[in-house]
Amino acid sequence: MNIYVGNLAHDVKDEELQTLFSKHGRVSSVKIIRDMFSQTSKGFGFVEMPGKAEAEKALKELNTFELNGKKLIVNEARPQRDRRGGGRRR
């Protein structure tokens, strides 16, 4: 299950999320979204957990969990939108 993690403090590292979610089950990947130029965190990221039951437990227990002074927003990630297109073609 792909899990959205929002309201991250800007100093949170991928490894910290890996450790936090690993307490609830196996984690296959962690990705904090960063600004392309400055590499500072945009305040959200994604955690992939292959076990559905473990992922649902993590969702329940970590939503509103306080990490580095901020309460996390944790829920199932929505499917990625198709970003193609964008202007008119003639």
The domain locations on the chain are 2-76
Beta bridge partners of 44: 6
3-state secondary structure of 55: helix
**77 vs 10, 44, 55, 65, 85, CA distance in Å?**
20, 11, 11, 18, 23
Evaluated on CA atoms 38, 10, 7, 49, the torsion sign reads positive
pLDDT tens-place string over residues 45-81: 999 999 999 999 999 999 999 999 999 999 999 887 7
Q: What is the pLDDT of residue 52?
A: 95
pLDDT tens-place string over residues 9-52: 999 999 999 999 999 999 999 999 999 999 999 999 999 999 99
- Please tell me the CATH code under which domain 2-76 is placed: 3.30.70.330
